[in-house]
């Protein structure tokens, strides 16, 4: 009788460990392939050169690295503040009747496949249909004009920013929810205006969580290719202007991966290695932050 | 503490505002000068011509500093993005349809290269460099799904070596809007009644047959054929050569010979066809080297050594370039200069990549077309 | 007081802007697809002809492809995820737990293009040569095992998706298990339950979270564009074998969007995006409903 129980238990543990192995095998396999193929292709010149047409040696992925950095930076500049403010709103002002509406819309938007956001930015900014809707060529304020841009870096940044906003908002909300009400009430009781309390007390208490939100969102958009495909269309040169096209690592991986050229495929592996390293470092930073008492 | 936060917020807002102002005012459309930044031209379209265009652009940038960004996304895309003014120029293997041409209003067609569409296949059992023979009807039947195995009698009749290969054929087609598909289906429609009636020709068709794989761009098709045993696909000639995939000889309907795609055989077709091309700013929708050649073959049986599936590939631009967002006079001039170079000096890069250089008459026509381009009404 | 008002207005302004953008997105999708729906109506969703030459568009096989791939992904991922999460939370010594958890979460952090790259260059040849071909030679007489084997296709995409959503379901379930009061687990042991019985008890308690995790996994799989686009093989026909190629809504858009050959084609693709949007929305609403209904008792009890 006990033997049977022991048998069943061992069987169950065996099945569970099998499940764990099945879960880990693909990860280890992917990492191994990326590292093996990527390392053999990586070199200093690869990281600093511009791409060359297939068959011409000496091509590199330098501009893709630059592109990813620029796109992520600009997207963060737009996306993080907006996400932060919205997160503050639905957390600190949750009694406001508009708050649940905003929360719902953020949830809806968060579930959006990135490709649909790409379509949206393509239609609105790249093609400028919204301008045609109002029958104008561009919206001008003196000499500064906003109009359709064609495929451009700014369109790509905006699409990444849009993608970023719901991630940041939800994460910020979670972080702010953990601020103990007692502290907030104490500040209010001592006569601090509410806005000041939010900006100083809540934000500084949730400092770690905010950094977490940013890192989470950043590691997500650094690897996104779908919206970029429809908004920047890739480029083979260094960055020139926000109204020109721009390259990016995830896009390059997609295009090079689908191509039949061996040298391009090797570069795709190298770019993947780079991306995974970046994402890895960001996630490790995340983990260290969590460890050091900062939230979660 | 709150002072600190407040000042950070204010600095951030000012910074963002400043960056935004800088970005918006750097819009070349408004401020005019881009300073010392190199001029960047954006083009997209046909994957057929990618090898040529990207290589030419690479050398052009080294010589003249102007950066031409060409995205290989398929002729259909090239046309659409051109019509939407999302790029500076489009590239397509098939001329604009009358409807598209009318929609664009002032589209100019500039043929910049000539190439051939070849049938590539991957049959592991065959020794490398085996060139199979195909007739038009057989190719059509394969893609119609009527010939499903490599050892089908019709194929074996042309290629006895296939007799023992009892494997299903996977047909690879373009999943995107493709000029190569346009040329290929033009060919199939010309050689097979059934194809013309059931499927027709176009940049993207309803591919019959159940064992069909879609590849994105000629790159995708080449990739798919290379990696899928017993598959067959159609790509521009260079893709077959550069990727070491076997390609077939196609029957010349005029003489019955099975012709290998080479620079000579493609040039022969061009010289036989000797199309009288319209003026650059007219409607080019009826121009098709493939259709004309097959039509000629019905009555003329002396067109020796010509490879049948041959096409021009075109760059399309607006005559009045100021329509395009972010266009400046400098950029427009740079675009015209690049295109002028491409159809003349740039042709030196064609033969190495197995494209046929433009005959002198076509070069002259192109230069004439390019002289029509204007920016804000002024000729460039 | 005045500072409060200004601050609130700033917050409201930004939030309202965001809501407007979401509305704009829905509106643009609707507007862009109106020409297709005007011409085809519901037939767009029900018919299977995709003929850009003749201007006939139907995405039934694409919708089917989307659901099939997600179905395959869920069938493969759910049992593995549940067992893995139980294993990690209950059966792994706590020293190792952190490392293993990090490893699993790393899987979630890999960008989808890298999954796609690995998919075409490693998974496809592997599945084709080591699994599909032997499978076909063993079972060729069964219906659905015929057809050409390319290695790409719905099954391969489903497998890749399963790998991608595994960490999502696993980590959510694992957290839920860890949050359960120890009393439940102790009670099970006290009653002499065998390991698998304890597992069953625990899972019953966190049923709600498991459902939420599954819906999240479904949403992720349904919306995945890049990785699927790279391995699905692109076909507008209904699958006729388990090795068949096909399309899903997001991968269709990736492959054909910038390359639409006519305004109608373009509109058809936006309409596909619209259908995707509607289904994603429905998923959220259903998830919310389930949570609402099952927590109703808890709220009533209070």
C236-272 pLDDT tens trace: 888 888 888 889 999 988 888 877 767 788 888 888 8
What does the pLDDT average to over A172-191?
A: 88
- Spell B281-295 as b/e; 16+ CB within 10 A means b: eebbbebbbbbbbbe
Mean pLDDT of A240-266: 88
| pLDDT interval class at A36 (50, 70, 90) | very high
B63 and B185 both lie in a single domain: no
Q: Any idea of the CA torsion for A145, A151, A154, A155, to the nearest 10 degrees? A: 100
Give the number of other CB atoms < 10 A from CB of residue A93: 18
| Chain C contact for A14 (CB, 8 A cutoff) | no
Please determine, for residue A154, whether its predicted confidence score (pLDDT) is greater than 70. Answer: yes
CA B375 to chain CA centroid, nearest Å: 27
Angle at A93 between CA A89 and CA A94, to 5 degrees: 100
Cα–Cα distance measured from residue B172 to residue C113, given in angstroms and rounded to the nearest whole number:
23
Close Cβ partners of A150 (under 8 Å, ≥ 6 residues apart): A126, A243, B42, B85, B86, B87, B88, B324, B325, B326
Spell out the domains of chain A, with CATH numbers in brackets.
64-246+279-291 (1.10.3720.10)
- pLDDT for B16: 62
Query: Looking at the predicted structure, is the pLDDT value of residue B379 above 90?
Result: no
Is residue C302 predicted with pLDDT exceeding 80?
no
Residues 33-72 on C with a CB inside 8 Å of A are: none
Residues B346 and B304 in one domain: no
Residues of A in contact with C18 (CB under 8 A): 82, 86, 102, 105-106, 109, 165
Contact A121, C21 (CB under 8 A): no
**B107-122 and B374-375 strand pairing:** unpaired
Same domain, B304 and B319: no
* B12 within a domain of the structure (yes/no): no
B210 shares a domain with B121: yes
Looking at residue B246, its pLDDT comes to 92
Strand partners, B108: B317
pLDDT of A33 above 80: yes
pLDDT of residue A143: 55
- Inter-chain residue contact A253 with C83, CB threshold 8 Å: no
Domain span at B370: 40-113+312-379
CB atoms within 10 A of CB C194: 17
Over its C-alpha atoms, chain A yields an Rg (Å, rounded) of 24
Is the CB of B242 less than 8 angstroms away from the CB of A54? yes
> B83 and B100 in contact (C-beta within 8 Å)?
yes
Q: Residues B196, B69: one domain?
A: no
Q: Rounded to a whole number, what is the distance in Å from the CA of A34 to chain B's nearest CA?
A: 20
Mutate to test the interface with A, among B6, B20, B24 (most CBs of A within 10 A): B24
- Mean pLDDT over C114-126 rounds to 91
Q: What is the pLDDT of residue C94?
A: 79
Confidence category of residue B31, pLDDT binned at 50, 70, 90: very low
Residues of A in contact with B223 (CB under 8 A): 258-260
The residue of C261, C263, C269, C270 whose CB has the most chain B CBs within 10 angstroms, and thus the best one to mutate to test that interface, is C261
Task: Tell me if C261 and B73 make a contact (CB, 8 A cut-off).
Answer: no
When divided into structural domains, chain B yields a total of: 2
Q: How many angstroms away from the CA of C128 is the closest CA of chain B?
A: 9
> Given B202, B210, B216, which is nearest C53 (Cβ)?
B202
Indicate the average pLDDT of chain B.
Answer: 86
Q: For the residues B293-317, what does the mean pLDDT come to?
A: 90
Same domain, B319 and B201: no
Would you state the pLDDT for residue B34?
Answer: 46
Average pLDDT over residues A11-19: 89
* A234, two tokens: 């890739």
CB C49 within 8 A of CB C140: no
Helix (H, G, I), strand (E, B) or coil at B16: helix
Whether residue B67 is contained in a domain is answered as yes
| Statement: residue A171 has pLDDT above 70 | yes
Backbone angles phi, psi at B378, to 5 degrees: -100, 135
What residues of chain B lie within 8 A of the CB of C260, using their CB?
Answer: 76-77, 80, 177
**pLDDT at residue A292, rounded to an integer:** 66
Chain B neighbours (≥3 Cβ pairs under 8 A) are A, C
Among candidate residues B254, B286, B310, the one where a domain is terminated: B310
Task: Looking at the structure, tell me whether residues B49 and B92 fall in a common domain.
Answer: yes
From the number of C-beta atoms within 10 Å of its C-beta (0-12, 13-18, 19+), residue A250 rates as: buried
DSSP letter (8 states) at residue B323: G
- The answer to whether residues B127 and B52 belong to one domain is no
Render pLDDT for B176-233 as a digit per residue (tens, 0 to 9).
778 899 999 999 999 999 999 998 888 878 888 777 788 878 888 888 898 888 999 9
Specify the higher pLDDT residue, A161 or C94.
Answer: A161
A235 to B222: CB separation less than 8 angstroms, yes or no: no
Beta carbons of A254 and C113 less than 8 Å apart: yes
- Quick one: B212 and B134 in the same domain? yes
Q: Is C266 on the interface with B (CB under 8 A)?
A: yes
Q: Name the one residue in this structure whose structure tokens are 């379901």.
A: C169
For residue C120, give both structure tokens.
């075409």
Whether the CB of B335 is below 8 Å from some CB of chain A: the reply is no
Chain C: nearest CA to A47, how far in angstroms? 18
Nearest to C225 among A23, A114, A120 (CB): A114
> Residue A271 has what pLDDT?
92
Residues A256, C155, A251: CA angle, nearest 5 degrees: 20
Is A233 in the B-facing interface, judged by CB distances under 8 Å?
yes
Q: Examine the pLDDT at B27 and tell me if it is beyond 60.
A: no
User: Is pLDDT at C1 greater than 90 in this prediction?
Assistant: no
B170-174 and B212-215 beta bridge pairing = parallel
**Candidate from A13-27, B275-289, C249-263 with smallest mean pLDDT:** C249-263
CB-based contact (8 Å) between B231 and chain C? yes
- Write out chain A residues lying below 8 Å of C6, CB-based: 195
Query: Within this chain, do residues B338 and B220 fall inside the same structural domain, yes or no?
Result: no
Nearest chain A residue to B331 by CA distance is A244
For chain A positions 273-292, those within 8 Å of chain C (CB to CB) are 275-276, 279-280, 283, 287
What is the spatial distance between Cα C234 and Cα C251, in angstroms, rounded to a whole number? 8
- Residue of B76, B79, B175 with shortest CB distance to C234: B175
Q: What percent of chain B has pLDDT over 70?
A: 90
Domain C59-260+269-301 - what CATH class? mainly alpha
β-strand pairing of B170-174 with B231-236: parallel
User: Is the pLDDT confidence value at A261 over 60?
Assistant: yes
Residues from chain B contacting residue C245 (CB–CB below 8 Å): 212-214
**Residue range A106-138, pLDDT digits in tens:** 888 887 788 889 888 988 888 777 676 666 666
Query: Are residues B316 and B294 located together in one domain of the fold?
Result: no
CB A273 within 8 A of CB A35: yes
Q: Which of C49, C107, C69 is nearest to C225 (CA)?
A: C69
Report whether pLDDT(C226) > 70: yes
pLDDT, tens only, B240-274 = 888 889 999 999 988 889 999 999 999 989 888 87
| Cross-chain Cβ contact A150/B325 below 8 Å | yes
User: HEC profile for B189-244?
Assistant: HHHCHHHHHHCCCCCCCCCCCCCEEEECHHHHHHHHHHHCCCEEEEEEHHHHHHCC
pLDDT value for A110: 81
Q: Look at A92-96, A264-268, B248-252 and tell me which has the smallest mean pLDDT.
A: A92-96
Picking from B310, B327, B345, the residue at the C-terminal end of a domain is: B310
Any A CB within 8 A of B216 CB: yes
* Segment among B48-52, B98-102, B214-218, C291-295 with least mean pLDDT: C291-295
Question: What's the whole-number mean pLDDT along residues C181-206?
Answer: 83
Separation of alpha carbons B21 and B156, rounded Å: 69
Chain Cα centroid distance, residue B155: 29
Task: Give yes or no for A135 touching C (CB within 8 A).
Answer: no
User: First and final CA of chain A: distance in angstroms?
Assistant: 44
Report DSSP state, residue B355. Answer: P
**Closest C-alpha among A253, A236, A217 to residue A66:** A236
How far is Cα C71 from Cα B270, in angstroms, rounded to an integer? 53
Q: Does A2 touch chain C (CB under 8 A)?
A: no
In angstroms, the CA C72 to CA C159 distance is: 7
Nearest C-alpha neighbor of B307 from the set B200, B183, B207, B224: B183
Residue C159 has a pLDDT of 94
Residue B6 belongs to some domain of the structure: no
Give the position of tokens 């999302």. B86
A145 and B24 within 8 Å at the Cβ level: the answer is yes
Burial class (CB in 10 A: 0-12, 13-18, 19+), A191: exposed
Q: Which residues contact B154 (CB under 8 A, 6 or more apart)?
A: B138, B141, B147
Burial of residue A67, with CB atoms counted within 10 A of its CB: 0-12 exposed, 13-18 middle, 19 or more buried: buried
Q: Do C88 and A117 touch (CB under 8 A)?
A: no
Q: Using alpha carbons only, what angle is made at residue C65 by residues C64 and C71, rounded to the nearest 5 degrees?
A: 90
Non-local (6+) Cβ contacts of C139 within 8 A are: C145
- pLDDT > 70: percent of chain A: 93
CB atoms B203 and C236 under 8 Å: no
Percent helix, strand, coil in chain B (nearest 5)? 45, 20, 35
Compute the average pLDDT of residues B347-370.
90
> Is the CB of B2 inside 8 Å of chain C's CB atoms?
no
> Mapped to the 3 state alphabet, what secondary structure does chain B carry?
CHHHHHHHHHHHHHHHHHHHHHHHHCCHHHHCCCCCCCCEEEEEECCCCHHHHHHHHHHHHHHHCCEEEEEECCHHHHHHHHHCCCCCEEEECCCCCHHHHHHHCCEEEEEEEEEEEEEEEECCCCCCCCCCEECHHHHHHHHHCCCCECCCHHHHHHCHHHCCCCCECEEEEECCCCHHHHHHHHHHHHHCHHHHHHCCCCCCCCCCCCCEEEECHHHHHHHHHHHCCCEEEEEEHHHHHHCCCEECEEECCCCCCEECCCHHHHHHHHHHHCCCCCCCCCCCCCCCHHHHHHHHHHHCCCCCCCCCCEEEEEEEEECEHHHCCCCCHHHHHHHHHHHHHHHCHHHHHCHHHCCECCCHHHHHHHHHHHCCCEECCEEC
pLDDT in tens, C145-180: 777 677 888 999 999 999 999 998 998 888 888 888
- CB proximity B220 to A under 8 Å: yes
C279 chain-A contacts, CB cut-off 8 A: none
Separation CA C278–CA B301 (nearest Å): 59
- Look up the CATH number of the domain holding residue B46: 3.40.190.10
Q: Do C259 and B76 touch (CB under 8 A)?
A: yes
Task: Tell me how close the Cα of B304 comes to any Cα of chain C, in angstroms.
Answer: 34
pLDDT of residue A133: 65
Q: Indicate if the pLDDT at residue A64 is higher than 60.
A: yes
Q: How far apart are CA C165 and CA B216, in angstroms?
A: 26
Which ipTM was obtained for this model? 0.87
In this structure, the dihedral spanned by the alpha carbons of residues C50, C52, C54 and C55, taken in order and rounded to 10 degrees, is 90
Cβ pair C12:A198 closer than 8 A:
no
Structure tokens at A69: 């950095």
Chain A environment of C105 (Cβ under 8 Å) = 283
Same domain flag for B87 and B71: yes
**Residue numbers of A between 33 and 92 with CB closer than 8 Å to C:** 33-34, 82, 85-86, 88-90
Among A283-292, B80-89, B230-239, C188-197, which stretch is predicted with the lowest mean pLDDT?
A283-292
Q: Which residue of chain C has the CA closest to B46?
A: C259
Instruction: Please tell me which residue of chain B has the smallest CA distance to A246.
Output: B69
Cβ within 8 Å, pair B325-A148: yes
Answer whether B166's CB lies under 8 Å from B150's CB: yes
Residue ending a domain, among B268, B295, B310, is: B310
Contact A102, A89 (CB under 8 A): yes
Which parts of chain A are beta strand (E)?
139-141, 144-146
- Burial group, residue B193, by CB count within 10 angstroms (0-12, 13-18, 19+): exposed
Q: Which residues of A touch B58 (CB under 8 A)?
A: 52-53, 56
C165 neighbors C217 (Cβ within 8 angstroms) = yes
Q: B320 - beta bridge partners?
A: B374
Average pLDDT over residues A230-259: 88
Q: What is the pLDDT of residues B81-90, one digit of tens each?
A: 898 888 999 9
pLDDT score for A165? 94
Q: Is C256 on the interface with B (CB under 8 A)?
A: yes
**The predicted structure's pLDDT at residue C51:** 76
As a whole number of angstroms, the distance between CA A134 and CA A157 comes to 24
- Torsion angles phi and psi, residue A146, rounded to 5: -115, 125
Instruction: Say yes or no for a CB contact (<8 Å) between C11 and A12.
Output: no
């Amino acid at each position: 009788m006990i033997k049977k129980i022991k048998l069943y238990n061992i069987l169950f543990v065996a099945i569970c460990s099998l499940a764990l192995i099945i879960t880990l095998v693909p990860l280890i396999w992917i990492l191994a392939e990326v590292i093996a193929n990527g390392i053999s292709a990586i070199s200093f010149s690869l990281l600093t050169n511009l791409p060359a047409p297939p068959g011409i040696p000496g091509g590199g992925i330098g501009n893709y690295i630059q592109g990813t950095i620029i796109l992520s930076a600009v997207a963060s500049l737009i996306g993080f503040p907006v996400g932060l403010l919205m997160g503050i709103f639905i957390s600190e002002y949750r009694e406001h009747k508009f708050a649940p509406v905003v929360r719902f819309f953020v949830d809806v938007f968060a579930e959006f496949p990135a490709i649909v956001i790409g379509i949206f930015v393509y239609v609105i900014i790249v093609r400028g249909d919204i301008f045609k809707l109002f029958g104008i060529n561009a919206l001008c304020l003196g000499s500064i004009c906003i109009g359709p841009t064609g495929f451009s870096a700014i369109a790509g940044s905006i699409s990444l920013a849009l993608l970023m906003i719901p991630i940041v908002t939800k994460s910020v909300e979670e972080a702010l929810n953990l601020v103990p009400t007692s502290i907030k009430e104490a500040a209010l009781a001592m006569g601090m205006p509410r806005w000041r309390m939010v900006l100083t007390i809540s934000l500084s208490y949730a400092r770690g969580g905010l950094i977490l939100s940013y890192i989470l969102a950043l590691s997500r958009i650094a690897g996104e290719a779908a919206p970029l495909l429809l908004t920047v269309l890739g480029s083979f040169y260094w960055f020139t202007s926000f109204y020109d096209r721009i390259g990016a690592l995830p896009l390059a991986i997609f295009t090079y991966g689908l191509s039949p050229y061996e040298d391009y495929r090797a570069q795709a592996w190298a770019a993947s290695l780079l991306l995974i390293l970046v994402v890895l470092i960001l996630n490790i930073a995340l983990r260290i932050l969590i460890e050091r008492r900062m939230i979660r | 503490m709150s002072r600190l936060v407040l000042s950070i917020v204010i600095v951030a807002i000012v910074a963002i505002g400043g960056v935004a102002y800088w970005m918006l005012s750097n819009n070349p459309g408004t401020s005019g000068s881009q300073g010392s930044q190199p001029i960047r031209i954006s083009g997209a379209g046909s994957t057929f011509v990618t090898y040529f265009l990207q290589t030419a652009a690479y050398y052009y940038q080294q010589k003249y500093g102007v950066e031409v960004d060409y995205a290989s996304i398929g002729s259909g895309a090239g046309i659409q993005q051109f019509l939407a003014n999302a790029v500076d120029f489009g590239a397509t293997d098939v001329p604009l349809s009358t409807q598209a041409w009318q929609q664009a209003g002032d589209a100019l067609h500039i043929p910049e290269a000539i190439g051939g569409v070849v049938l590539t296949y991957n049959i592991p059992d065959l020794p490398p460099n085996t060139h199979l023979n195909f007739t038009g009807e057989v190719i059509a039947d394969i893609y119609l799904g009527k010939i499903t195995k490599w050892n089908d009698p019709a194929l074996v009749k042309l290629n006895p070596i296939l007799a023992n290969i009892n494997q299903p054929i996977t047909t690879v087609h373009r999943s995107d809007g493709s000029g190569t598909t346009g040329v290929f289906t033009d060919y199939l429609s010309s050689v097979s009644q059934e194809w013309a009636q059931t499927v027709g020709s176009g940049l993207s068709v309803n591919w019959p047959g159940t064992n069909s794989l879609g590849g994105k761009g000629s790159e995708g098709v080449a990739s798919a054929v290379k990696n899928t045993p017993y598959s067959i696909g159609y790509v521009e000639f260079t893709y077959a050569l550069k990727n070491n995939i076997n390609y077939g000889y196609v029957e010349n309907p005029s003489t019955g010979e099975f012709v290998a795609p080479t620079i000579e055989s493609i040039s022969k077709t061009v010289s036989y066809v000797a199309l009288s091309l319209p003026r650059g700013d007219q409607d080019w929708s009826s121009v098709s080297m493939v259709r004309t050649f097959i039509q000629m073959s019905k009555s003329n049986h002396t067109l020796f050594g010509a490879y049948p599936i041959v096409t021009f590939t075109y760059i399309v631009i607006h005559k009045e370039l100021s329509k395009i967002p972010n266009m400046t006079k400098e950029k427009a001039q740079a675009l015209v200069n690049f295109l002028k170079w491409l159809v003349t000096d740039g042709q030196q890069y064609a033969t190495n990549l197995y494209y046929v250089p433009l005959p002198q008459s076509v070069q002259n026509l192109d230069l004439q077309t390019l002289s029509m381009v204007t920016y804000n009404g002024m000729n460039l | 007081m005045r500072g409060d008002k200004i601050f609130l207005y700033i917050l409201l302004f930004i939030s309202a802007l965001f809501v407007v953008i979401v509305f704009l997105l829905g509106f643009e999708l609707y507007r862009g697809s109106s020409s297709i729906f005007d011409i085809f109506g519901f037939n767009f969703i029900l018919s299977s002809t995709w003929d850009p030459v003749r201007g006939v568009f139907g995405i039934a096989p694409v919708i089917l492809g989307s659901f099939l791939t997600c179905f395959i992904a869920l069938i493969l991922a759910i049992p593995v995820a549940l067992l893995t999460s139980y294993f990690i939370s209950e059966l792994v010594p706590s020293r190792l737990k952190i490392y293993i958890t990090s490893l699993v979460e790393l899987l979630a952090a890999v960008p989808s293009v890298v999954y796609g790259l690995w998919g075409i260059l490693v998974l496809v040849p592997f599945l084709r040569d080591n699994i599909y071909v032997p499978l076909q030679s063993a079972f060729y007489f069964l219906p659905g095992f015929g057809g050409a084997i390319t290695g790409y296709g719905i099954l391969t995409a489903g497998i890749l998706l399963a790998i991608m959503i595994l960490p999502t379901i696993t980590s959510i379930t694992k957290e839920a298990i860890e949050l359960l009061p120890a009393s439940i687990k102790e009670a099970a042991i006290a009653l002499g339950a065998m390991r698998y019985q304890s597992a069953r008890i625990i899972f019953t308690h966190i049923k709600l979270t498991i459902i939420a995790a599954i819906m999240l996994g479904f949403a992720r799989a349904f919306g995945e564009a890049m990785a699927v686009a790279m391995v699905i093989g692109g076909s507008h026909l209904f699958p006729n074998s388990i090795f068949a190629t096909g399309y899903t809504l997001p991968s269709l858009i990736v492959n054909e969007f910038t390359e639409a050959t006519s305004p109608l084609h373009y509109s058809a693709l936006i309409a596909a995006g619209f259908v995707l949007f509607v289904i994603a929305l429905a998923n959220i609403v259903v998830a919310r409903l389930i949570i609402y209904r099952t927590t109703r008792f808890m709220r009533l009890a209070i």
